[in-house]
């Protein structure tokens, strides 16, 4: 009996052992063939830390290779919540919250995540970094990253734009050329010991590709001169807004572009939408008398009139259909050159009637109005000009003097440049070259001719008329001693909300180029609702002051490229 019971117990134990062995063998085979990859991945996560390697964002330079947007190295803070004991997290949050200026709930949420890597704060200040490092908290680590910095703060802010926290361009050149500037990120797989401490060893690494550098057509010195003078006028006239553009009329290169109000790119989060708006390409307005260059050019090109031909200006009052047209001061008989120089609305409308609606519309479009210039900046608008079939009976009088047409400051600068360079409408641009970090050219941008607008002879004749407008006409405050200037003033009534013209809100402007016989620069100045409001009073002096200093500066540099027509 005893022996029989013993054998039964032995067989039972042996059977259980065999079953256990088979279970373990089955489990082992299951793990080996079905769960091996999953468990190996867990092991990797425990002993490997994958870190993205940020590329260097390309530098933005002006035309003289002065940096306008650069990168500086700063610390970013991360936490490995798996390394931090649960009992210590409350105390750690209280310590780091005031240092990083982060909300308690935010940090609590971050540290409660069961992750080996979670960002706490990106691109902190050196003072914050030092304060945090002095606390010596286990589970809090630092990674070097680059932060975008703009050494000139306000200068050319509407052209350069800015990049966000992740070095992605959000405005201006930073956004338009982001694909060139950003580069390609890499990564490194670092080893960690059993305590999850990062070792200075890496298992695998792919180096990042740094971004390309962008070289602008903007000249830092010319930009400064333009902004300085625009700012003075903006403040002195209590204007609502202001824009200035300085161009090389032969190539379309933008040498300076500025707006007021403006903002510090380093503190773009504090800027308002009004301050960030690039008014030179996004704001449409009726241009007023500066638009008379279109009628003058078209009439001469079509041989409808000559400079010396006399026009009766009706002593300041002239009725067209149901509309009575007035001049700012009465004139009797004026030559055509004097009509433009003295900015007679009546004389200009009579010349426009000789030209006719269809031809006038043709030259408006030929000079680039009603279409985007194609500048390499985002947000440009085309402006507005109705086809002649939609014109009223008074449109033939209104359009020539800059009413019933919407333009941008850039379009005005481009149009006056076409007269300066002999009749060629060029495409404006602000980027002339893209290079890699070794200085090798990746892409270059050359002048682009949009179309031939008027003949060389007509451009020369209009130039002489515009010289007279400065010497003897409404643009006298743009005169420069010893240097010839060609230009045109403009004073336009703004439209009220009900569609009528305001009697106390105006756009004051001046467009011109100098030296008139051998133009090096073309400038457009526009002031929105200045006091006083006449373009010859508020905008012409800005042109003069900018032109004097820019011409003096250009004497120290190589001469600008001139067209074959000059």
CATH topology of domain 53-212: Penicillin-binding protein 2a (Domain 2) (3.90.1310)
Amino acid 128: pLDDT: 86
Amino acid 204: pLDDT: 54
pLDDT band at 201 (very low <50, low <70, confident <90, very high): very low
pLDDT band at 558 (very low <50, low <70, confident <90, very high): low
In this prediction, residues 292-302 reach a mean pLDDT of: 97
Task: Kindly give the interhelix angle for 456-471 and 409-420, rounded to the nearest 10 degrees.
Answer: 110
Give the pLDDT confidence of 391-413 residue by residue, as tens digits.
999 999 999 999 999 999 999 99
Q: d(Cα 121, Cα 264) in Å, to the nearest integer?
A: 23
Give the residue from 228, 271, 284 showing the smallest Cα distance to 528.
Answer: 284
Give the pLDDT confidence of 14-45 residue by residue, as tens digits.
777 787 777 777 766 666 666 666 545 545 55
The answer to whether residues 213 and 61 touch, using CB atoms and an 8 Å cutoff, is yes
Question: Of 279-283, 315-319, 481-485, which gets the smallest average pLDDT?
Answer: 315-319
In this prediction, residues 146-167 reach a mean pLDDT of: 92
Q: d(Cα 413, Cα 524) in Å, to the nearest integer?
A: 5
Show the 3-state SS of 251-303.
Answer: CCEEEEEEEECCCCHHHHHHCCHHHHCCHHHHCCECCHHHHHHHHHHHHHHCC
Amino acid 96: pLDDT: 84
Amino acid 519: pLDDT: 97
Amino acid 52: pLDDT: 64
The CATH number, out of the four listed (3.40.710.10, 3.30.420.40, 1.20.1070.10, 3.40.50.970), of the domain defined by the range 220-264+277-554: 3.40.710.10
Phi, psi torsion values for 466, nearest 5 degrees: -75, -25
The answer to whether residues 470 and 479 touch, using CB atoms and an 8 Å cutoff, is yes
> Encoding tokens for residue 223?
């930009």
Give the residue from 92, 95, 93 showing the smallest Cα distance to 106.
Answer: 93
Q: What is the pTM of this model?
A: 0.83
Question: Of 245-259, 311-325, 371-385, 426-440, which gets the smallest average pLDDT?
Answer: 311-325
Domain residue spans of the chain: 2-49, 53-212, 220-264+277-554
- Assess whether 289 carries a catalytic annotation: yes
The percentage of the chain sitting over the pLDDT mark of 90, rounded to a whole number, equals 64
pLDDT band at 119 (very low <50, low <70, confident <90, very high): confident
Amino acid 1: pLDDT: 56
Question: Which one from 289, 344, 395, 417 is the annotated catalytic residue?
Answer: 289
Amino acid 413: pLDDT: 98
Residue written as token pair 């070794």: 438
Amino acid 218: pLDDT: 97
Amino acid 120: pLDDT: 84
Question: With the C-alpha atoms ordered 530, 243, 343, 498, is the resulting torsion angle positive or negative?
Answer: negative
pLDDT of 199 strictly over 50 = no
3-state SS assignment for residue 314 = helix
pLDDT of 200 strictly over 60 = no
Give the pLDDT confidence of 535-545 residue by residue, as tens digits.
999 999 999 99
Give the pLDDT confidence of 416-445 residue by residue, as tens digits.
999 999 999 999 999 999 999 888 999 999
- Rounded to the nearest integer, the mean pLDDT of the chain is 88
Q: Are strands 213-216 and 60-61 parallel, antiparallel or unpaired?
A: parallel
Amino acid 494: pLDDT: 93
Amino acid 51: pLDDT: 61
Amino acid 279: pLDDT: 97
pLDDT band at 205 (very low <50, low <70, confident <90, very high): low
Give the residue from 88, 514, 532, 165 showing the smallest Cα distance to 524.
Answer: 514
Amino acid 564: pLDDT: 42
pLDDT band at 562 (very low <50, low <70, confident <90, very high): very low
Amino acid 241: pLDDT: 97
Give the pLDDT confidence of 305-339 residue by residue, as tens digits.
999 999 999 998 888 877 888 888 899 999 999 99
DSSP conformation class of 496:
P
DSSP conformation class of 134:
H
Question: Of 158-167, 233-242, 393-402, 555-564, which gets the smallest average pLDDT?
Answer: 555-564
**Which residues, including other chains, have CB under 8 Å from residue 24's CB and lie 6 or more apart?**
none
pLDDT of 4 strictly over 70 = no
Helix ranges restricted to H, 483-534: none
Residue, of 79 and 273, whose pLDDT is higher = 273
Amino acid 565: pLDDT: 40
């Amino acid at each position: 009996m005893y022996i029989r019971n013993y054998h039964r117990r032995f067989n039972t134990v042996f059977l259980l052992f065999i079953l256990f062995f088979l279970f373990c063998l089955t489990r082992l085979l299951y793990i080996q063939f079905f769960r091996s990859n999953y468990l190996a991945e867990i092991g990797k996560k425990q002993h490997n830390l994958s870190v993205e390697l940020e590329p260097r964002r390309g530098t933005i330079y002006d035309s003289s290779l002065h940096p306008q947007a650069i990168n500086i190295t700063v610390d970013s803070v991360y936490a490995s919540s798996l390394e931090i004991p649960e009992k210590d997290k409350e105390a750690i949050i209280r310590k780091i919250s005031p240092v990083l200026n982060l909300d308690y709930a935010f940090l609590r949420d971050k540290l409660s995540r069961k992750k080996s890597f979670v960002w706490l704060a990106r691109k902190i200040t050196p003072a914050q970094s030092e304060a945090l490092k002095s606390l010596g908290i286990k589970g809090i680590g630092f990674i070097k990253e680059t932060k975008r910095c703009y050494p000139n703060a306000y200068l050319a802010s509407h052209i350069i734009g800015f990049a966000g926290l992740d070095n992605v361009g959000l405005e201006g050149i930073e956004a338009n050329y982001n694909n060139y500037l950003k580069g390609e990120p890499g990564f490194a797989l670092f080893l960690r010991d059993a305590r999850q401490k990062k070792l200075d060893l890496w298992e695998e690494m792919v180096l990042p590709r740094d971004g390309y550098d962008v070289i602008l057509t903007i000249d830092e010195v010319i930009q400064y001169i333009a902004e300085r003078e625009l700012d003075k006028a903006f403040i002195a006239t209590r204007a609502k807004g202001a824009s200035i553009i300085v161009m090389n009329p032969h190539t379309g290169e933008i040498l300076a572009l500025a707006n007021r109000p403006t903002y510090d790119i380093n503190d773009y989060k504090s800027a308002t939408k009004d301050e960030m708006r690039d008014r030179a390409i996004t704001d449409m307005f009726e241009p007023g008398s500066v638009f008379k260059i279109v009628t003058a050019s078209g009439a001469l090109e079509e041989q409808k009139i000559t400079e010396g031909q006399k026009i009766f200006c009706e002593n300041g009052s002239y009725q067209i259909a149901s509309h009575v047209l007035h001049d700012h001061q009465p004139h009797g008989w004026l030559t055509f050159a004097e009509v433009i120089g003295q900015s007679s609305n009546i004389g200009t409308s009579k010349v426009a009637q000789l030209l006719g609606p269809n031809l006038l519309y043709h030259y408006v479009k030929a000079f680039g109005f009603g279409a985007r210039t194609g500048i390499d900046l985002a947000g440009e608008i085309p402006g507005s000009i109705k086809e002649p079939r939609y014109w009223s009976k008074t449109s033939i009088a209104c359009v020539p003097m800059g009413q019933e047409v919407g333009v941008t400051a850039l379009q005005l600068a481009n149009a006056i440049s076409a007269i300066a360079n002999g009749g060629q409408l060029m495409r404006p641009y602000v980027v002339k070259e893209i290079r890699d970090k070794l200085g090798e050219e990746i892409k270059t941008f050359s002048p682009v001719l949009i179309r031939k607008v008027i003949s060389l002879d007509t451009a020369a004749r209009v130039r002489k008329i515009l010289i007279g407008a400065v010497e003897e006409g409404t643009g006298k405050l743009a005169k420069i001693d010893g240097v010839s200037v060609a230009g045109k003033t403009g004073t336009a009534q703004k439209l009220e909300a009900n569609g009528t013209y305001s009697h106390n809100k105006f756009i004051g402007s001046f467009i011109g180029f100098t030296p008139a016989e051998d133009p090096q620069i073309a400038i457009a100045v526009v002031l929105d609702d200045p006091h006083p409001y006449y373009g010859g009073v508020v905008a012409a002096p800005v042109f003069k002051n900018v032109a004097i200093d820019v011409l003096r500066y250009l004497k120290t540099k190589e001469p600008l490229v001139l067209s074959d027509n000059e």
